[in-house]
Structure 1
Amino acid sequence: MEGTESTTRERSTAKDGNKAADQEVLMSSKPLHRFVQREPRDVGIAILIFGCAEVMMGFTLSGERDAFTSFGIYTSFWQGTLFLVCGSLSIYTELRPSKKMVTVCLSMYVVSLLGIIVSLVYRIRIFSYLRYLTFYRRESLSLQRLHQICAIEALLFTCSLFVAGLLIFLCVIARLALKSTRTQIIVRHIPAPPTDTTAT
């Protein structure tokens, strides 16, 4: 009876030791833990919403043939796809954090930021052209239609700026996580409880 009680205690002590060791291994990769603490999943959900809005507005702009819009280089579609990929990766990385996934996320964030720069420059050209149409050439499109296109482009421009801010934040925390995380193995030796050799 005493033998079974001591064996049960040893097993429970070993289980508690394994849990503590697992917790220490989790906390040993603190930079990745800090990356997860910043809740990239919530930011990723916001980026996903902006990506869906960008793609949906792209379908609206695709029907406009008479005006110079961002559909000219399919901006809404490829930028919306980049936002969707970044948002999905952020959500997945918080659920299963690893150095490899943070590296993939960081590279996609940088690519998306470059895409945002291209789209912002292109949309600034669109605004100047639409302003020219509004004041000098009104025969090709009605003034109301021009204002609608300008409002859509301004909305997408603002969304791109907001997503750029979110991506810069994610880039910073991902870079800090990768900079401080090096391959470290912490081995903790837990000695076995002493056994009584003087059994009677």
Structure 2
Amino acid sequence: MEDTVPTTRGRTTAEDGKQQTPDRLLLSTKPLHRFVRMEPRSLGIVILLFGCAEILMGFQLHLAGEHGRTSLDMYAPFWQGVLFVVCGNLSIYTGLHPSKKMVTVSLSMYVVSLLGIFVSGGYRISCLSYFSYMRYRASHRTDPGWAHFRVDLLFGIEGMLFTSSLCVLVLLMVLIVVARLALKSTRTQVILHQSLPPGTHTTSN
């Protein structure tokens, strides 16, 4: 009976080693861990910076007293900037504390922000077309003066905000695809655990 104790411990240790290896592989291949490996924190910081810039430019347009045809008419710099800030913070938090619930919340905000970009982008395209027409008219004047400079300034601001929105659009599409794949894999993943009775490893002479 004394010889059976080391044998049992040796087999138990071997079985524990075999069980620990799949567990480590399982932890490294979890869908949420694959989502974290896409660096949502880095992308969230970039989106957060774009959101802060959007809000600051909205305040600049408001303080300048621009009442012409700009995206400020629909308060796009403010609500779109807030959406970007929320998405950025959610991405950073989800990267630090990944969970299925947080990925779902982040995915919802990504979709809402994406729809907001389409709305503001359509209006900004119309604003840029209007500014192009005003620049064309001002170029045929003998003395364009301040009006021409003002149109050029507004055209540059709206063009910069539209370009930043396109950059965030690409980042959000990447995050949406990664988050959707992570949630889909999490729902369809099946994990089987095999537990042996305590007396299975014991041997008799």
TM-score (norm 2): 0.77
User: For the Cα contact (< 8 Å) 2:117–2:169, is it kept in 1?
Assistant: yes
Trace 1:1-200 onto structure 2 (pairs within 5 A): 23=24, 26-27=27-28, 30-62=30-62, 63-136=64-137, 142-182=147-187, 184=190, 186-187=192-193, 189=195
Change (3 A) 1:108 1:140: farther
Distance 1:60 1:90 in 2: 28
Q: Deviations over 1:99-156 (max 9, x none)?
A: 1111111111111110000111000110111122223368896211211111010000
Over aligned residue pairs, what C-alpha RMSD do you find? 3.1
Instruction: Return the TM-score normalized by structure 1.
Output: 0.79
Does the aligned pair in 2 maintain the 1:51–1:84 contact within 8 Å?
yes
Q: 8 Å contact 1:66–1:141 — kept in the other structure? A: no
Q: Counterpart of 2:65 in structure 1: which amino acid?
A: E
Is the 1:61–1:70 contact (alpha carbons within 8 Å) kept by the matching residues of 2?
A: no
Aligned-partner Cα distance in 2 for 1:42–1:174: 15
How far did residue 21 of structure 1 move? 8.5
Higher mean C-alpha displacement, 184-193 vs 108-117: 184-193
Which 5+ residue runs of structure 1 have no aligned equivalent? 1-12, 196-200
Unmatched 5+ stretches in structure 2: 1-12
Deviations along 1:70-119, whole A, 9 cap, x unmatched?
A: 10000000000010011100011111111111111111111111000011
The runs of at least 4 aligned residues of structure 1 exceeding 4 Å deviation read 16-25, 137-141, 183-186, 190-195
Q: Percent identity?
A: 55
1:181 counterpart SS class: helix
